[in-house]
Every structure is written in C-alpha cells, then in structure tokens.
Structure 1
C-alpha cells in the first residue's frame, strides 16, 4: 500500500490508473487555462501567521453548513461522469463522505442515478441541478431528488453555455469511451480500470437514460444534451426553481458582487463563490480573490461558501479565515476516487482534515469558529484595484 501524505500522492496514482480522456476531463480548464491555474496559485499567495505558547488540546473542526452538522467545513462538489473515474464512482464517493461526516453532492450528469446512490447510502446527500430547456424533465428530476430525501438542492448557474475545453474536444470525451484506435491503445494500459468497469452495469448517464423519451444510447444522449442547457436562465427562473424545490437551496457559480446580491434576494440559503474550477470563463478571477468583495456585499444575508482551487487543508483554513462558512472540493477527491475507489476518497478527506487541524493549531486556535482573518498575511493588492467601466 503506497504511503499517502498529501493530495499530490493520490494524483500521481490517479494519473497512472485512469484513461487519459477522464484524467484530462478532471485536470483541465477552458481555453488557455489561466483561471484554472490561478485558482491554486492565488491560494499560495496567502501566508499564515504562526502562534506559539497557546493551548492546542481538545481541538475540533466540526460545525454546520446550511444548518447541517459536518466533521469539517468541506463538501464533495458535484462532478459530472464521476462513475467514469472509477466504476460506481458516485456511490463510492457518497459512502466515503457519509462515513467521514461531510456532505456529498450528486451531479445531474452523473453515471450512477439519484436512486442508485440513495439505495446504497443511509444519510441524505445534496443534489446538483443543471437547468435544462425540457421543463417536464426538470420538474421530474426535482421530484426524484425529493423522493430520494436529498437535503439540499445545489443549482449551478455558470453553465448556461459550455466553455470550450480543448482537451475534451481533442479526446472526443464520451461516456462510455468511443471505440477509436487512440482509445483502445490507451485502455490497453488501464486494465484495472477496465476490469472494474466491466463488472458494473452503470456506464451511461443514469439521471437521463431511461428518463427522457427517445434517449437510449450515447449518440442520442449527446445530441439531446448539446441542446438542453438553458441559455435563457435568468433570476426569475432561478426563483421559480427555488420555489419548486421548497427546501435548502445553494446557488453555485457566483463570481460577481451584483450576482451575489441577486442570489441573496431570491432566497438562497447559501451561495458558492466559484468559477467552475476554471472550466468556463477563462480569464475570470480566481474564487479566492473574489471571496472578500462578495462577503463584504452579502455576508450577513446568506451563507457564503467557496470552491475552485482547494487542494489542501491549508486552503480550506484560508477560505474559512477569510470568512467563508464552507468549502467544496472537486479534483482533490476525484484524484482519490480514481486512484483507490472509496478508500481513496476517504484518504483524500483524511489528508485534508489532518492538514486543516494541524494548521489551525499552529495558527493558535482550537475551534474553526474562532478562526479569523488575523491568522492570515494577505498581500495588499490581493483583491486587486480594477478600473471599472
């Protein structure tokens, strides 16, 4: 068993084990990938203040997000095609999150369906919704999430149209992989992944196949999906979806102060400061750089969470110290899932938790609720001085 000391260790195993198209799907951004890179490098610009001679016993990272208890302020973000990173990936990740005591978010574009995950877990999970033009399908999808007793709806707002991701286009990304020569050559070196995939019947988008008329194979699904993301989504439709759901709602993809104010006004319980992991608008600011302006605008009206760029427990602590009430991780746990299945997700959570706990202690605190911006050394120009037109 390899020694896992950080998320990068899992990433190395993940890269060796998973087919190239699915590795590239997770480990890439749109266009030049500037925002994808800056999501992580901007975290490294923030330094920490070490404190000594402070009682570090009886530490806890526990608290709540949207009124729900957690072991640490980290939720597993919705990731499309998780079941292609590892057979039954959504089920395995949900189980690991449940055992660890953090929320799992199932993507609309998951391989395992809402029902698959609900039947194989014992605690409620969150469900992420992409807004589609097919309103009947959208309504039924929400009802299915209610029936599965999902405890929150995460509405993704930043995918009305899909940003161009060069690697996905070059690889011909699909689920399952298309039988091309390049794919056969790549898959011939990924026997462990292939054998596990042969053992499961879940190889297509479980929330769509069988739930939309005339969609019963990858080609018809691709054509349907390409036309379904709703470019006409506006705040009135968001408000309608929140009302249709009737429960805890998180709006994900907020990167602008004005949008944050609108999200608070329509009744969201929380917002996620996010640029979709750098996979949508390349050239947008990193999430961590936009966190403080958004907190200044709406921090007392709605819970503010953050994702995009988190690869360690120190990143989590920095986000919390700056004022976020919660965080989401995506790639960090995908590396673990692809590397080692459920155990890998658990290892990723353990790594992040240990880093979070130890760093919090060395910064002089025993409870996350007591952590504030005073533990940080943030460059004076971090939020930037931008000329606005």
Structure 2
C-alpha cells in the first residue's frame, strides 16, 4: 500500500484493520467493558468548540516545545505500548527510529518485544522507559539500573493498572500472552497472509517472538504482563524516586485531588490518562479531566494528556487547556502495522501538518499563544491561562 494515499489517522486504522488478524487488531483497538470510555476519549474533543482569532501574521508557525528540558519538534509524543511485535516484526525498533527522525519523544514499554538496550541503541531522539513494577517482593533496582545504563532520559511509572481489566474483545477472541495458536487465530491468519509472512519472518519458533536472543521470549512477555496487574503504593513511588536520578513521569492520573500527593512524591510530570479506555469503563475522558488537573498543578510539573487524539485540532485543544504535550498510542501502532517505520513516520507527519494548519487557522503562531480563550467547553466558560511553553 502506498502510504501517501492515507491522508488521515482514520485511514491508517482502516488499513490496519484489513491487514491484521482480527484478534490482533482487536487487542490494539479495543477497550474495557462496553468501550464507553474509549468512545468518550474521542467524542469529548468533538464537543469542544474552537474560537479562531484574526489579524495575526501566521506565515511562520512554530510547533517546537521542550519536554522535561529537552527540545522537541512538536507537542506530540509516542505513548508506551506493549507487544508491538504483533503489529510488525521491527516493532519498537521501527517506532524508536521514526520518533527520532521526527524529533520527538518515544516511550518504551516494560513489555517491549525487544530488549531495552537494543531499542535504546537505535533511538536517536529523546527516550523514556515506562515502568511496571515487578511482581511480588522483587524490587525495581535491576530494571531501573538497566534503563539508566542504556541512557533513557526519563522514567514513566504507570499507576492505573491495579488489577485485570475486562476486555471483552480479547475474551471472545481467546487472546492471551503468550500468544496462543487457537483455531480462531489460525482462521484469521489464513485471511491475512501478508501479516503471517511478516510474523514468520520475524520468527515464531522456540517459544519466542523471534529466534534472535535480543527478542523477548513469549514467556517473559507473559510474566511482564502479570507484573502490570498490581496496585502501586506511595511507598513504592518513594523507592522508585530514590533509585531513579532522572525525571519521573507519573502516568494514569485522572483526579485533581491526587495531584498534590504525586508532586510530593517527586513527580516531575503527570500524564492525564485512562489507559486509552482499556481499564475502567465509564471512567471520565482525559480531556474532561485535564483542566482541573492543570489548575491544581499550577506549573509545578509538566502536564501531558493521552487518549482520543486523532486530529491536529485535538492537539491544539489539549494545549489550549493547559497540556504541554499529548501522547498517541493506537494511531502509531496502526502506522506500524501498515508500513513499519515509514508508516509511523507518516502518522506523525499527518498529525504535525494538521496541528500546524489548525494553529494557523486559529491565529496562533506558537504553542505559547494557545490558551483557554481559544476554546469553549460544553456548558462551561473559559479563562486565559499563562504561557508556559
């Protein structure tokens, strides 16, 4: 498929649906329960109205910003996402290269398909390591030491997976990690021969995602997944803060009344996130939660948002409401599935161009120009917020 024919992120989702076996597509696209929160994440953006400003010279528009002190080309970052090997054999290696080429941040999941050292070596841009705390009484010292030695710039600790989520698509598909060869998967794979060839070329034997020892074994992946399903306590965050010298990002924040606690525990940034609608169904959408969190934090930490970003107008709405940047997950995974590294780069290019266009039409030359005067929230007023970009 020629990537230039895909002109928006919805095109990539449609193309990925055609390429991936149904169980694999569903594990990427699906959410918890009735997938109400999954829908709300996107629909909430459509209910926010924009107020463009005229009489502005917008011949030069600058999307650059800084993330934890590091300059990036855009306020669009790549969320951590596990098991990317299911989408494409190059998996996180391709995504890290694409992010570096675009000049933005890539976050590597604990449940990566490739060893963190190998991903770090190909990442030319800013890189974060996302941490799920090890299960049981095992401490995070070893994995944090490896991440630090590999040169990761920041640590992203996920706090919103205290127990297993009810994802009914996966239940119906009998999907599990390690990936089980079920009759349903075999039937779907037979109808997706290009995916099957890609998966086999990457290696599926000997109980691993690939024959290369640098690729995690499927059993390791399953064990890592089990570690994600546990509550995180304040004491454990204090331990992580003591062990990690770099910036600490807390991901999975929805309540403004908990922000003070996270700041006191040493957080340098917060990600307003409901795990892409994949945990508690009917949880509040992220853009609805964002303004209160920004108001409570008051610039003492950087605030980011993920969930539901599908257009450049979504990006400018989030920034206008106080987010320093947004993170995307599913869109770049669709790009990865369709075109590998080139597909991820194309997704970022589209979102960059849409954001630049939206800023021009709004009358904003820099991210700093965006404030709440540019948006109206449903049934609410709006106020200006200080420039923090």
TM-score normalised by length of structure 2? 0.91
Shift of 1:307: 0.6
- The correspondence of residues 171-320 of structure 1 with structure 2, limited to 5 A, is 171-175=173-177, 177-201=179-203, 218=219, 222=222, 224-225=223-224, 228-229=227-228, 231-320=230-319
Which residue of 2 is the match for residue 358 of structure 1? 357
Which residue of 2 is the match for residue 37 of structure 1? 39
Instruction: Specify whether residues 137 and 111 from structure 1 end up closer, same or farther in structure 2 by C-alpha distance, changes over 3 A only.
Output: farther
Listed one character per residue, the Cα deviations across residues 219-249 of structure 1 (whole Å, up to 9, x for unaligned) are: x864x45753463521121121122111111
Q: How many pairs does the alignment contain?
A: 376
Alpha-carbon distance in structure 1 between the residues aligned to 2:135 and 2:178: 25
My pick for the range that moved more, 96-105 or 232-241, is 232-241
My pick for the range that moved more, 2-11 or 75-84, is 2-11
Which residue of 2 is the match for residue 149 of structure 1? 151
Q: 1:163 aligns with which of 162, 165, 171?
A: 165
Secondary structure class of the residue paired with 2:140: helix
Which residue of 1 is the match for residue 24 of structure 2? 22
Secondary structure class of the residue paired with 1:128: strand
CA contact (8 A) 1:252 1:274 kept: yes
Instruction: Specify whether residues 47 and 339 from structure 1 end up closer, same or farther in structure 2 by C-alpha distance, changes over 3 A only.
Output: same
CA contact (8 A) 1:164 1:280 kept: yes
Which residue of 1 is the match for residue 387 of structure 2? none
Secondary structure class of the residue paired with 1:69: strand
Alpha-carbon distance in structure 2 between the residues aligned to 1:137 and 1:241: 9
Alpha-carbon distance in structure 1 between the residues aligned to 2:227 and 2:352: 38
CA contact (8 A) 1:132 1:230 kept: no
CA contact (8 A) 2:178 2:218 kept: no
Shift of 1:299: 2.5
CA contact (8 A) 2:104 2:125 kept: no
The ranges of structure 1 where at least 4 consecutive aligned residues each deviate by more than 6 angstroms after the TM superposition are 202-206
Listed one character per residue, the Cα deviations across residues 258-300 of structure 1 (whole Å, up to 9, x for unaligned) are: 2222111111110000000011111111000000111111132
Listed one character per residue, the Cα deviations across residues 273-332 of structure 1 (whole Å, up to 9, x for unaligned) are: 000001111111100000011111113221111111111111111000001111110111
CA contact (8 A) 1:110 1:205 kept: no
Instruction: Specify every segment of 5 or more residues in structure 1 that has no aligned partner in the other structure, as ranges.
Output: 384-389
Which residue of 1 is the match for residue 135 of structure 2? 133
TM-score normalised by length of structure 1? 0.91
Alpha-carbon distance in structure 2 between the residues aligned to 1:114 and 1:255: 29
My pick for the range that moved more, 171-180 or 265-274, is 171-180
Which residue of 1 is the match for residue 334 of structure 2? 335
CA contact (8 A) 1:289 1:382 kept: no
Instruction: Specify whether residues 40 and 205 from structure 1 end up closer, same or farther in structure 2 by C-alpha distance, changes over 3 A only.
Output: farther
Listed one character per residue, the Cα deviations across residues 184-209 of structure 1 (whole Å, up to 9, x for unaligned) are: 11001212112122222488788xx9
Instruction: Specify whether residues 176 and 122 from structure 1 end up closer, same or farther in structure 2 by C-alpha distance, changes over 3 A only.
Output: same
CA contact (8 A) 2:332 2:344 kept: yes
Instruction: Specify whether residues 144 and 262 from structure 1 end up closer, same or farther in structure 2 by C-alpha distance, changes over 3 A only.
Output: same
Alpha-carbon distance in structure 2 between the residues aligned to 1:347 and 1:232: 37
The CA RMSD over aligned residues, in Å, is: 2.3
